[in-house]
Amino acid sequence: MTFSKSFGYALRGILYVSLLKDEPRKISIDEIAEKLSVPRHFLGKIMKAVVKAGILSSTRGLQGGFFINEKTLGTPLLTIILLTEGNNYFNTCLLSMRKCNSSNPCPLHNKVEEHKDGLLQIYGQTLVSDLLQDDKADFIKSLATVEAA
Give the residues lining the site for ligand FES (CB under 6 A): 93-95, 97, 100-101, 105-106, 108-109
Provide the residue count of the chain.
149
Evaluate whether 145 touches 138 at the Cβ level (below 8 Å).
no
Q: What is the dihedral of CA 8, 10, 11, 15, to 10 degrees?
A: 130
- Which option in DNA, its own copies, ligand FES, none does residue 61 bind, with CB closer than 5 to 8 A by kind? DNA
Residue 96 within binding range of its own copies, rule CB under 8 A: yes
Question: Of 120, 124, 130, 146, whose CA–CA distance to 18 is shortest?
Answer: 130
Evaluate whether 140 touches 16 at the Cβ level (below 8 Å).
yes
As a whole number of angstroms, the distance between CA 110 and CA 104 comes to: 10
Stretch that binds its own copies, among 23-31, 41-49, 60-68, 90-98 (CB under 8 A): 90-98
Tell which positions 50-109 bind DNA, by CB under 7 A: 51-52, 58-66
Residue 13 within binding range of DNA, rule CB under 7 A: no
Compute φ and ψ for 50, nearest 5 degrees: -60, -45
- Which option in DNA, ligand FES, its own copies, none does residue 2 bind, with CB closer than 5 to 8 A by kind? its own copies
Residue 48 within binding range of DNA, rule CB under 7 A: yes
Q: Which is nearer to ligand FES, 28 or 90 (CB)?
A: 90
